[in-house]
Amino acid sequence: MRDFSRLFAQAKWRPATAPRAWVRHRNDAGANGLCWHVPSEGSPRISVIVPTADADRGGYFSQLLAQLGRQREQAFELIVIKGDRRQGRAINIAADMASAPYLLTLDDDSSLPDSDTFVRLLAVMEAHSDIGMAGGNNTIPEDASPFVRRAMREIPRRSWTPVEQITDSDLAEHPCLMMRAALFRKVGGENEAIPRGLDPYLRKMFRDAGSRVVIAPGVIYHHMPPETFRKLTRQFFRNGFQAAYANIHYPQWVIETPAEHGAFVERLPFWRRALRYPGRLGGALLRGHWLWFCCQLCYIAGFISCNLSQQR
């Protein structure tokens, strides 16, 4: 096993630049990230990609490094892109440097409690050539605070019951996501133009290319919401603001994000998306999900705030 914490302490960062000729929607404005690359011991089977703002994330990043060192599958290279404010561009830059047949994206605050995570994801991808993208099951950690536990139970897509078989699902997300590198580049990679909606955009590109997007059984990870009410509601305000920006400037890339596995309608007219919010608010109140109710109000406030600012 490799000691990534020690390697990180000795890390030498270099400018994160790459040609990215295959990127379909490229954006170079404001690119100023740094790269840290740890080669694989031998030929890599996986290129692990971690975009991060500060390579800390309140201690979560160092925890993730320790968990990477405990993975039973160690034939992987690690590429960390620090300081690039556009997650999609950071992932594309890393993917251009990657040399393995599979890419695995992790958020800097993802947690991998199981040392067989990489083994299980590889097994799914190698046994099923029609699968282009495989995600894990986001579950609530046993040591989560009561607030985080409640948020993950109430807020859709924050956690779900782990699947028992390979399941076609739109819940495959960047915090723990394995993809075929060649297919990722073929579809044009991440959309670097949009500030929000990267996951649904990329999943659609993979499906349009004829590949399956699935959740893998036995693959568990933790990706938790902010730990305080103030931070959580601020996040939803920002999400609403960015969603409005995407709706105004890039409506062609606004894609649905269902809360359940299975088939769904990828695009809905704006009026239908707007009309469902009163029902969602009422449903949250009836179920006693006051936290989800407050988050939705903050999301709506951010959405309206963006629209007002764009009209000035």
Give the domain CATH number at 193.
3.90.550.10
**Residue 241 is part of which domain span?**
229-311
- Please tell me whether residues 217 and 247 are part of one structural domain: no
What is the 8-class DSSP label of residue 224?
Answer: P
- Please tell me whether residues 190 and 271 are part of one structural domain: no
Which of 221, 242, 257 is at the close of a domain?
221
- Whether residue 117 contacts residue 176, with contact meaning beta carbons closer than 8 Å, is answered with yes
Structure tokens at 79: 């590429």
Q: How many CA atoms lie within 13 A of 182 on its CB side?
A: 4
- Please tell me whether residues 11 and 35 are part of one structural domain: yes
Q: Which residue's structure tokens are 């991808």?
A: 125
- Please tell me whether residues 174 and 260 are part of one structural domain: no
- Please tell me whether residues 174 and 302 are part of one structural domain: no
Please state the domain count of the chain.
Answer: 2
- Please tell me whether residues 306 and 208 are part of one structural domain: no
Q: What is the pLDDT of residue 27?
A: 95
Beta bridge partners of 104: 48, 178
- Please tell me whether residues 243 and 204 are part of one structural domain: no
Structure tokens at 48: 């692990």
- Please tell me whether residues 21 and 120 are part of one structural domain: yes
Which of 162, 196, 221 is at the close of a domain?
221
Which of 198, 221, 244 is at the close of a domain?
221
- Please tell me whether residues 213 and 260 are part of one structural domain: no
Return per-residue pLDDT of the chain as tens, 312 residues: 799 999 999 999 999 998 999 999 999 998 899 999 999 988 999 999 999 999 999 999 999 999 999 999 999 999 999 999 999 999 999 999 999 999 999 999 999 999 999 999 999 999 999 999 999 999 999 999 999 999 999 999 999 999 999 999 999 999 999 999 999 999 999 999 998 999 999 999 999 999 999 999 999 999 999 999 999 999 999 999 999 999 999 999 999 999 999 999 998 888 888 888 889 999 999 999 999 999 999 999 999 999 999 876
Residues 6+ apart with CB under 8 A from 187: 24, 202, 205, 206, 208, 209
- Please tell me whether residues 140 and 76 are part of one structural domain: yes
45 dihedral zone (left: phi>0; alpha: psi -120 to 50; beta): alpha
Helix runs in 128-228, H state only: 146-154, 181-186, 198-208
- Please tell me whether residues 50 and 195 are part of one structural domain: yes
What is the 8-class DSSP label of residue 115?
Answer: T
Q: How many angstroms separate the first and last alpha carbons of the chain?
A: 56
- Please tell me whether residues 205 and 282 are part of one structural domain: no
Beta bridge partners of 76: 46
